[in-house]
Structure 1
C-alpha cells in the first residue's frame, strides 16, 4: 500500500493515443438549417498521425430546391445538383468511407445531426461514432485575446491553413483538418495525448481533476480496494491522514482513472476528488476479497463521501421477551439467548412492519403492559376486535397465547408458511373488493418478512460452519476462499492444476476466527451476506466443510411456492387482479 505520486501516465495506461486515431473530418452543405432541409454536398478527409489517407466528395440531389440565398453562399445551384446522385446512393458510400473512424466536424452537432437524420430516413443503422467538435476544442484552448471568435474562417486564418474555407464541403473539410492538427498541438502541451483525454477536455472536466489522472498509473490492473485520502493537520497541528472515500473494483487502474474523466457525474465525488491529496490501493487475490475489504474499511474509517455500508453495526432485531406472556420487542443487540431473536432489519420501521405481520398472523399480544401469570389484568380493544387472545384475563387466552408464541418461534426457526397462509383469506377479500392499495401494503409486508427470513437463515447457516473451503471458476483459473463462521479468513487464486495445493496453503495461512456467542457470524451481517451470495453462485465447488451448511427448506420459499402459499389455488386469478389494479394506477406489489 503506497501513495500514488502525481505522474504523467503512459499512453497505454490511459487510452488510445491521438497519433493512432483515424479521423474522418467531414463537412456538409445543405439547403438550410431547418429540419426539412436536405444535404446538397458531402466532403471529407480521412487522416491519421498527420497523414492524409483519403478524400471523399460528392454533390447530392436534394428533395427540395436550393434557396437563392444558399446558392449565393455556397455556389451550389439547382442545375449543378440536377444530375447528382440522390441521398440513398451518396450516404451509403460515405458510410463505407468513414466506417470505424472518429468523426470530426466544425460545429459537429449540425453536420452529425444531418448524417444521423439521413441514416434514419434511409433506415440505415446509425454507427454511433465517437465525435470530436473542433469548435468545442477551440473554445477550451483558445484565449479570447488571441482570436475574436471560433469560426472556421477565423481559426483557419489564425493557424495559416493551406486551404481557405469557402462554404464548399471538401474545401471546408481540408481547412478543418489543418485547424484540427493545430488544436491537437495546443492540447498536447496541456497533457492531452489520448482520445479519452480529448473527450474529457471537451466535456469541460475541470483542469484540477484532469491534473490528478496520473494517480491512476500506480494502480494495478487487478481486483482490489482503493481509497482516496486527504493529508492535513488535526486540531493540535499534527499530521493527519483522513480517508475520504473507499471503493472496490475488478480492475483498479480503469476504475480509478474514471474518477478524473467525464464519465464521473456525481457532484459529491467531484468535490471529493478536489479535496483529495492522493489515492492508495490494495491489490486483492479475488473480487470477493475486494468486496469484503471495502466493507471492513468503510466500517473502520466511516469515510465522509461514502454513503452505503457506513452503518453495518446499526441493526435492529425482533426479540421474544422473557416474561409470563412473551411479546415482540425491537432491540439493537443480540444476547446469548439467540433463539429468541430474529432479523436483522436495517431500520426500526422495517422491524415494526415485521412485528405487525407476526402479531396479525398469530394474535400475539401487542401491549407493553407487564402482565402477571397469577393476577388477571384488564383487557383492551384488541381482544374485542379479535386481534389478541387476551392472556391478561388468565382464561383460555393463556393457552392460546402459548400456542401463538410457539408459532412465532416456528416461523423464525424453520417454517415461514404459517405467516404467509394467515394472510391468504384477508388478501383474497381485499382483491375481490378491488382494494388494491391495501392489498399492496399487505403483500409488501409479507415480502419483507420473507426476505428477512431468507437473510436470517442463510447468514446463520454459514455462521454455524467452523470452516468452508470453496472454489469458483474464473478466467485463467479458480478463486479460492476459506470461510470461518461466516467471515472470510483467506483468499487465493490458483491455476487449474494447482487448486488443491493452493487451497491447502490458504487454509494453513487463514486468519484464526473465534466463534462468537449466540450463533452470530464472526463479522458484520453485510459481510456474511456477501460471502453467502458468493457461495450460492453457480459453479462454486466445496472443497472442504467443517460443520453443516444448510437451512430449513420452508424458511425461504422460491417465488412460485411463495405465491402458492400466499394466494392458494386462486394464485393466477388473484395475481391477474392485482396486476389489473396496478395498471389502473393503484399502489400494489405482486408477490
Structure 2
C-alpha cells in the first residue's frame, strides 16, 4: 500500500472524543469519520459509544456529550467494525494523530477486535512542514488561518470534518513533495536538519564555549549547539560566574554547547521574567518543566466559574475568572485561614465536586456552613456570603479589613446579648491575628489596582527595572526610561479592572509571570507605587528619586526580544 500514488489514494479523517481520563481509564465516547478522495470530502459517519465508567461533569460541559447520551449509545464492539471497514485500504488522517490512534487502539483491544493498522498522516505534522509561519496549530486556530470556517468544536464529526478540510488545504503541497504514500510518511516524519553556520567554529571535544564575553551583570544567557539550536536558558545576577558553573555540574547538554548568547537586564526580577519568556519561546531540552524548588509561597484563591465556589490554597494563581489573594508564605497557615473564613461566612468546607447529602454535614449542623449540598439553597444567598468574604481582600489591607469585620461581629453579638457567640468570635480574632502575623505576605487580591514595581540593580546604585502590574498580569516592563515612563504608567492603569470588581482574569500564559513577580515582591519588598487615574511625571520622578533611581530622559528602551539563533 505504501507504494500507491498519493494523488489517487483515499483517506479517512478521524476524530475521537473521550471521557477525559488518561491511561487505562481513558474510554472512547464518540467517533467521527470523513472519507476524502481527490482533495474533496465525500461520505461522513459518526457514532456515540457506550462507556463503562460515569462521565465527569467537566467533560460533559466541554463536549456536550451527557451521561444519558452515552448510556443510550451502542457498545464499542458494535461501533468499531464500521470504522475498521472504512479504514481498510485507506490512509487514516487525524489532527495530533498520536492521541487518536492510541485511543482507537485501546478501544479495539478492549472490544477484542483487530486493529486495522492503516498508514497514518497527522495534520499537525503537515502544518509544521507546509505552514511553518503558523505558530499556533490547534485544529480550530489552524483551520481559520487557512481560511476554513469553524462552527463547532469538541464534537467528533465537526472536528473530523475540519481536519479533512485542513488536510485538503495542504494536500497539494504534500503531493508536490511526495509521489507515494510511503514518501509522504517519510517527508512528514523526517526532522529538518539545519546546517552549521560557517561563521560558527566547532570547538574541540571536552572544551567549554568561550565565556569571557559575558559580563558580570544580571541577565539571561542561552547556550546553543553547533547548528544554533538552543540547549539551555538560564538567568543570574552574575552572567559570567553562573554560565561557567554549568561545566562543573555534569549536565548532559553541556557536551553539545558550542556558543552562548546573552541579554543584560537591570535586575534579578527582569532576568526571571526574560528567562520565563525565552523558555516558553525556545523550548530548550536542557530546561526541565517545573524548574525550581518550591519557595513556600501559596495563594488563597476562589474560582468563580463553578457552582457554589470554594476557597482553596494552591501554589499558583487560578487560570480564568477568579479571585487570587497573595502570595503568602506557609501552606498550613493559609489553609487554616481558609478554614476560619469558611466558618465565619458559612462557606463550603468540601472540595470542588460538591457531594449531594440527605442531611447537613458536621459544619452545617454547627451553623458554620450554609449546606448547599442539600440542594435547597438559593445560589444568590451563598454568593452574597462569598462576596462579603472576598471583598475583604479587594482593598489594600486585607488583614486589617478581616480583623475589622470580626470586631464588628463581636459588637453585634454583644449588643444582641449573644455572649457565647461573642466569646467564640473573640477567640477567632486572636487566632486570626496570629495567623496573619505568620503568613508574611500581602493579603490582597492580585487583580486589584495597578502598580509600578521598582526592581533595583543588585550592585549598582541608580539602576533599576520598572515592572508594571495591572489586573494581576505583567503588562509592561523594561529598563527605567524617562521618555516613556508616564505613558507606560498610564497604559498600565487603564489595563486594571474597575475599582471594587470581584474577580480578575488570568490566561494560562500569564499565570507563571504573575507568580514570579508575586513571589519575588513578597520576598524582597521592593519599592512600589500605586498608579492612579492621573499619573504625572512629577509624581513618578519623586518616587524614583526617593529610591535613588535617576531618570535618563531619551534613553532607549532595553530590548527583551528572544535571542536570535
Tell whether the structures are fold-level matches, with TM greater than 0.5: no
The higher radius of gyration belongs to 1
More helix by share: 1
TM-score after normalising by structure 2: 0.38
Query: So what's the TM-score if we normalise by structure 1?
Result: 0.36
